[in-house]
Structure 1
């Protein structure tokens, strides 16, 4: 069955009549569901491509931002629990990797993760990089610029800066305050970590630490590029994420 009921937290980029697999994508800090719209061109006819839409952006522009991880991951998990079951892969980039991990943990705790076969985590280590407890607006801007990608260009336009800075500031404060719990059960899903070889936030060795969060198989892929390596490598990354996964052992 395709995604049937509209959800503010879930944006559907493909609408297969008879979906056989689902890919759920989680955007980076300041990002939105539309970041993953180009991936639809690489989805096969049976892949349902869904992206999480955090409050405060695009069609949810007027909604209150969510300032902490627990509420955000719990809200997305509740929406995913309501979907018809399909073999599912999660893909999260940067902050989205942490949101995807936390969402999957909540689904597993609720008994609703049996169809999620793989977690793809991109541009982040399990515990993130050390960050100041509270960033000024200029520190947030500088942090975004340091990562490369097209997002930094919004700060060159005063109107866009005023419009988008509150969202980016919120997300940076959310992820800066987030601490992964180490006393939770291991994931059962396989984990595939991806990173750019020149990412200033995470080295390949740091990305490899995701192997410790799962009892399943682990894979590490290092591609050429910076923190937003996945923009020029969109086809390869999308196809990696959409690879059919093996079902979980019973």
Structure 2
């Protein structure tokens, strides 16, 4: 396994950003047609094997409603929402989930990184990814686990970026273990998983509601699947 921290200390450059890779080129790199992959979406429930604790969900609910009351609902058509507002919502969720995992396992193996550079093994492609979760296996060995790419207005715009980032992560980890990625507008989230051979894509799930502060019971019952997926991922390592 390659130590990604050792790799990141080197001055690395890439030729083409994931964002600038055409769909045709991405399909050649990935080995499948994007439209076929997008048509084979699975219910988000199929990716959930563990349920996040109620106390954690309520803590995240409070943080999200505070964000909504201060920054507004992150809908792209409502001015002046921009991508930084979307990343604020995403960051609140991921920070709470990673912190809870570290605190309850007493291992402190997980680290949430912002604007982390991920580069393909051949150094031809790369990009800074907004959120990356890594696991320290031991003091000189770290692996990629989960990435999240936030988009202001469309899940589809981040799909190719996320696919290429996940392939690069898996190649660098070189351990045949699953890597996970979300593309999200903060309101809607879509999961991709990859184990080095098989790709899977979830149906979108809604994580935010308008006027959430008055809908806590409804949100806890109907809109926390993404929290359960992230909890499942972090509990599986």
Query: What is the TM-score normalised by the length of structure 1?
Result: 0.32
Query: What is the TM-score normalised by the length of structure 2?
Result: 0.33
Which is helix-richer, 1 or 2?
2
Q: Which has the higher contact order (CA 8 A, sep 6+)?
A: 2
Which is strand-richer, 1 or 2?
2
